Every structure is written in C-alpha cells, then in structure tokens.
Amino acid sequence: MPSRDSKNEDEGEEFLDIDEAPTEIDPYATLGIDKSATQAEITKAYRKAALKNHPDKVPESKKAAANTAFQNIAFAYAVLSDERRRRRYDITGRTEESLVGEDGEDDFDWLSFYRGQYKDIVTTQAIDAFSKEYRGSDEERDAILACYTKHKGSMNKLYKEIMLSDPAEDKDRFRAIIDEAIENGDVEPLKAYTEETEKSRNARAMLAKKRKNEEAQEAEEHASELGIGANGNAGKNEGMGGLAALIQQRQKARGGNFLADLEAKYAPKGKKGSKRAAKDDEPPEEAFAQTEARRTGKKGKKQ
C-alpha cells in the first residue's frame, strides 16, 4: 500500500497525506446508508459526504481531520460502488477481503483511486449533479428548518451552513419553506426571522451577488490561464464550470484554502471567538456598506 506524503511524479503534484486504505471502516455507516441501498443512493450519499469533507474546504487547523474523513468516505465508495467488492464485503464483513481479485491477488490501487476521487469530486459535472439532487429536496428542507431552529432564526448563519445556498437566488424560496413550516406548526416563529427587514434581506442578497460575480471573474481568469472552458474545453467559462476550473487550479498550486472561502457554507463551523461571532450576526446592510467602502477606497488609491 502507498505511504503518506506520496507524490504524483508525472504531474509534479503533491497531495495531502495519504494513509493506507482504512480497511477497518464500515462502508455503509461511513456513507450513512442502509445495506439495501441502490447504486444511485450510494453515489448520492458519496457525493454529499465527499463535498462536505473535502480537505480543500476546511481551515488549516482542520485539514488533518478532514483528510482522514475524506479517505474513509472515498474508501467506502470504492468498496460499495463495485458490485464484486460490495458482494464480497456483504458476505465476509471485511473490507480487506473485498479488495482481493478473482486470482487471489490484491487488484485494488488505493493511491490511484484516492487521487482520482480527490480531484474528480470538484468537477463541474459532480457539483452540478449533486446540486440537482439536493436543491428542492426533502433533505434540503429538513436541513433548512433544523438550521433555522438551531440558529434561533438567524438567516445570516443559516446561509453559511446550508449546502449550495445562495442568498440572492434562495431568498424567496427559503422564506416560503420557513413560513409554511411556521404556519403548519413545524417550527416556532423566531424573533430574528420574523423581525428581519426587507432592507436587510435585500442587502444580504446584493452582497452575495457581488461576491459571486467577483468569484466568477477570478475563476474565468484562472481558467483562461489553464486554457479550459466551462466543460474542460478551450473557451469562455460560465457558471460552475469556471468555479470548478479555479478549484482545480488552486488544488494544483496547493496554495491556500480557496474552497474554505467559497464553500464554507457546506459544513457547520466551530466557534472562532467573539470577533467571528459578531461578524456572523452583523446586519447584511452594514456588511454591504463596509464592502462598498473598501472597494471605493481601493479605486481611489489606484487613481
């Protein structure tokens, strides 16, 4: 089995620490699925877990834990996505047995498989496929209502936690879900939510749209440098294609936590201290005004 700190000599790309295959895990429990799960359900559970736990999405202090979690998730998928491996695991209850080929030899290259999953989970196709399955689903609705209750009606915090959420696109949709739940008695009408002004909601949406445009422009610039387009081909980048290109560029450079900035909403955050907490609760219109002031100041300095 490959050892830690392995490198891809052909590409000169250094990956995060790669341990030996985590054969002690229960693949079904790792992906949070039943033993009767279909292949489609296995793939869906894998995409969700992998996107949540991708090492490039977390702060440096949490990378080691995310790296371990991602390896467990990738290995669980390696076992369950292959019918022969899954059948052998179901019979023996041992993942190491499932890796043995028909000739009795270990025919599974864990290092190559992990590298492929590490990069492929953030392709345009993977993100789009997961988005189509998740947005508008019962699972998303349950997550919205759980976050609403957890954060006592704070929509700022809710948007930071709900996967794939966008204050500009989801403003009306999320409120419709919460309003219906309040009317049906599923959740309580909480003050932070019921007293939030239209001005605050619009300011949050405007700020989100501005940030999204800036990120898309940065993605297009990096994708142009790579000579690839929205679907991995030469040409202009649009939407998620540019985002995926930029993610892949940053992964290759190994320089920083770009996903932590763009997609921190995919997973709940730990406490970062009073300063961070104050930022989360800051009224959207004030945050928007501060961003505009910084932008104007930068323009003034350039002139």
> What are the pLDDT digits (tens) for 127-149?
777 788 889 999 899 999 999 99
Question: Do 143 and 288 fall within a single domain?
Answer: yes
Structural domain tally of the chain? 2
Question: Within this chain, do residues 289 and 167 fall inside the same structural domain, yes or no?
Answer: yes
In a domain, 300, yes or no: no
Q: What is the CATH number of the domain that holds 62?
A: 1.10.287.110
The pair of three-digit structure tokens given for residue 296, joined into one six-digit string: 């104007």
Q: Does the pLDDT value for residue 210 go beyond 70?
A: yes
Share of the chain above pLDDT 70, in %: 58
Domain that holds residue 98: 7-121
Indicate whether 154 and 289 sit together in one domain: yes
Domain end, chosen from 63, 92, 121, is at: 121
pTM metric for this prediction: 0.51
Q: Choose one of 72, 91, 121: the last residue of a domain.
A: 121
Phi, psi at 185, each rounded to 5°:
80, 15
Place of tokens 């359900």: 41
pLDDT tens profile 286-298: 555 555 555 555 4
**Residue 128 domain-assigned (yes or no):** no
Give me the chain's average pLDDT, please: 73
Per the CB < 8 A criterion, the answer to whether 266 and 52 are in contact is: yes
Where is pLDDT greater, at 290 or 231? Answer: 290
